[in-house]
């Protein structure tokens, strides 16, 4: 049987987005919303030499003759699946040519980077085999919940599942995790995909999607942790689309214009993330200390949001969410790249359901979409057999 499914979670960044690209510490958590990738290799009875890609979320399908891909991407055949490699500038140009041939509708042109990442990962890990790949997601795309990372992690997992690098039980029909060494390989390949979509990613998004739970991350070094505080977050999607690559580039340009001031901003974010890490890791003996910790976390979120405004990545709709939740004495901060997208609001343990309902009603009356997702769930998993099972 030559079919496998992979699923990888989205994420929220509790502190440190953007600054993490410049070497500060960041704290991120997986959330229980997943992207699914199914991979089925063609058999001789299929009698076709196409690589097919079905993207359920933008409702688009594409296919390429394998010979066309081989003609355009000969060098990727030299890449070993056990040695993640970046897509070279020449290769990126070749892939761009393949993607331009697709005539993607202008309104959905943002998915071009995802298709490019797919072509690089597929040809590098699996070479030139006819297959059908289907992608679907519970995550809003381009909203700050790590949809690109979940896409790349689930894709890398499905592609590696059939290689010698993966120590998996192909006869097991249930969801299963990779071994530690293989999971690192999935994460490193996903990072190569994120580079194509994000431009200059820090690696925190694909790492928390690969490993799950909560991580403290600084320049590739990570600390895995489970929160000793029962963090309950309201996620408000402003539904303002934006592009992480452009927002990350904008912060780098501001840093070049104001190097000293921005260095202090990044350093302050580093301190906030380190304090948040120690709060989350410290034991919580009783309810009082939970409330005390929640108050500290709220203050850190508020301070981080102020620094994100310094970086120029807030947005009018994000400010509307901040003002609305502040009326109820709740702390909020953007999560992910900002510029629209999603905003986190901490819901303290002692907050009444009535207040939560009022906040959600007011936010949704602004046209926003609110979800309360469990945070700190599992990382990437794979399941052999067809996706209907
Ligand atoms: N399910 C999917 N199907 C197809 N393409 C996807 C999917 N999920 C993500 N992508 C690709 O990733 C892009 C969105 O990535 P982007 O980094 O801009 O947003 P995000 O990852 O949701 O937010 P953030 O990086 O701030 O967490 C899409 O435009 C598309 O190219
Ligand atoms: C904005 C950013 O810090 C997080 C995006 O979710 C980019 C990155 O770290 O790759
Ligand atoms: Mg992304």
Q: pLDDT (tens digit, 9 = 90+) per residue, 22-68? A: 999 999 999 999 999 999 998 888 878 999 999 999 999 999 999 99
Strand partners, 11: 30
* pLDDT score of 177 more than 90: yes
How sure is the predictor about 388, in pLDDT bands with cuts at 50, 70 and 90? Answer: low
Which pLDDT score is estimated for 46?
80
Rounded CA-CA distance 84/136 in Å is: 25
Instruction: Work out whether strand 214-218 and strand 233-237 pair parallel, antiparallel, or are unpaired.
Output: unpaired
Element (H, E) at 273: helix 259-281
* pLDDT score of 193 more than 90: yes
* pLDDT score of 351 more than 70: yes
Element (H, E) at 118: helix 112-126
Is the CB of 204 within 6 Å of ligand 2? yes
Rounded CA-CA distance 6/136 in Å is: 11
Q: For the chain, how big is the Rg over CA atoms in Å?
A: 21
* Helix, strand, coil percentages in the chain from 3-state DSSP, rounded to 5: 45, 20, 30
Element (H, E) at 117: helix 112-126
**pLDDT of 261-315, one tens digit each?**
999 999 999 999 999 999 998 887 777 788 999 999 999 999 999 999 999 999 9
**pLDDT of 102-135, one tens digit each?**
989 998 999 999 999 999 999 999 999 999 999 9
Atom of ligand 2 at shortest distance to CA of 336?
A: 6
Higher pLDDT, 171 or 339: 339
Which pLDDT score is estimated for 226?
83
Structure tokens given for 162: 């059939």
Which pLDDT score is estimated for 286?
76
List C-alpha distances in Å: 225 to 266, 297, 340.
23, 16, 29
How sure is the predictor about 79, in pLDDT bands with cuts at 50, 70 and 90? Answer: low
pLDDT > 70: what percent of the chain? 97
Which pLDDT score is estimated for 77?
61
State the ligand closest to the CA atom of 313. 2
State the ligand closest to the CA atom of 241. 1
DSSP label at residue 171: T
Instruction: Work out whether strand 381-384 and strand 342-346 pair parallel, antiparallel, or are unpaired.
Output: unpaired
Contacts of residue 132, defined as CB under 8 A and 6 or more positions apart, other chains included, come to 39, 40, 42, 52, 54
DSSP states along 176-244: BPPPHHHHHHHHHHHHHHHHHHHSS--SHHHHHHHHBSEEEEETTEEEEE--SS---EEEEE------H
- For CA atoms 102, 41, 158, 87, the dihedral sign is negative
State the ligand closest to the CA atom of 13. 2
Pick the residue whose CA is nearest to atom 11 on ligand 1. 114
Is the CB of 17 within 6 Å of ligand 2? yes
* pLDDT score of 248 more than 70: yes
**pLDDT of 321-333, one tens digit each?**
999 999 999 999 9
Task: Show which residues are catalytic.
Answer: 205
pTM, entire model: 0.94
Which pLDDT score is estimated for 75?
66
Are residues 269 and 216 in contact, defined by beta-carbon separation less than 8 angstroms? no
CA 208 to ligand 3 center in whole angstroms: 12
Most confident stretch, 159-168, 236-245, 372-381: 236-245
Higher pLDDT, 170 or 317: 317
List C-alpha distances in Å: 190 to 81, 281, 315.
12, 28, 29
Domains of the chain: 3-225+379-384 (3.30.230.10), 232-374 (3.30.70.890)
Are residues 7 and 260 in contact, defined by beta-carbon separation less than 8 angstroms? no
Q: Three-class SS of residue 280?
A: helix
DSSP states along 45-96: GG---EEEEEETTTTEEEEEEHHHHHHH-GGGGG--TTS--PPPHHHHHHHH
Which pLDDT score is estimated for 63?
95
Q: Which residue has the tokens 């990779």?
A: 178
Ligand 1 pocket mutation, candidates 19, 28, 145, 151, criterion most atoms within 8 A of CB:
151
Q: Which residue has the tokens 């890990």?
A: 125
Average pLDDT, the chain: 93
CA 41 to ligand 1 center in whole angstroms: 25
């Amino acid at each position: 049987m030559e079919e496998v499914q992979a699923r990888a979670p989205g994420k929220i960044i509790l502190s440190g987005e953007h600054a993490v690209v410049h070497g500060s510490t960041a704290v991120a958590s997986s959330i229980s919303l997943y992207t699914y990738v199914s991979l089925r290799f063609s058999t001789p009875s299929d009698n076709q030499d196409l690589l097919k890609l079905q993207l359920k979320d933008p409702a688009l399908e594409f296919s390429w003759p394998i010979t066309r891909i081989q003609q355009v991407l000969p060098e990727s055949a030299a890449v070993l699946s056990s040695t993640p490699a970046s897509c070279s500038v020449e290769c990126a140009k070749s892939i761009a040519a393949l993607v331009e041939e697709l005539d993607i509708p202008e309104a959905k042109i943002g998915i071009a980077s995802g298709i490019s990442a797919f072509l690089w990962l597929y040809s590098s890990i699996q070479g030139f085999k006819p297959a059908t790949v289907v992608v679907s997601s519970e995550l809003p795309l381009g909203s700050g919940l790590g949809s690109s990372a979940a896409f790349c992690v689930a894709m890398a997992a499905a592609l590696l599942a059939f290689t010698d690098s993966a120590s998996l039980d192909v006869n097991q029909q249930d969801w299963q995790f990779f071994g530690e060494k293989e999971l690192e390989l999935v994460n490193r390949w996903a990072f190569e995909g994120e580079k194509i979509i994000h431009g200059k990613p820090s690696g925190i998004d694909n790492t928390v999607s690969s490993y799950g739970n909560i991580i403290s991350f600084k320049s590739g070094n990570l600390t895995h942790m489970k929160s000793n505080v029962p963090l309950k977050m309201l996620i408000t999607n402003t539904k303002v689309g934006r592009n992480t690559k452009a927002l990350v580039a904008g912060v780098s340009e501001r840093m070049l214009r104001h190097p000293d001031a921005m260095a202090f901003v990044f350093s302050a974010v580093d301190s906030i993330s380190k304090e948040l890490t120690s709060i989350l890791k410290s034991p919580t003996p009783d309810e009082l200390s939970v409330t005390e910790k929640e108050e500290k976390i709220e203050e850190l979120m508020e301070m981080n949001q102020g620094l994100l405004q310094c970086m120029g990545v807030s947005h009018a709709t994000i400010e509307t969410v901040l003002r609305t939740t502040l009326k109820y004495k709740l702390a909020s901060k953007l999560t992910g790249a900002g510029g629209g997208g999603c905003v986190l609001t901490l819901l303290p343990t002692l907050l009444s359901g009535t207040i939560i309902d009022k906040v959600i009603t007011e936010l949704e009356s602004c046209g926003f979409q609110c979800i309360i997702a469990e945070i700190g769930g599992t990382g990437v998993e794979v399941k052999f057999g067809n996706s209907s099972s």
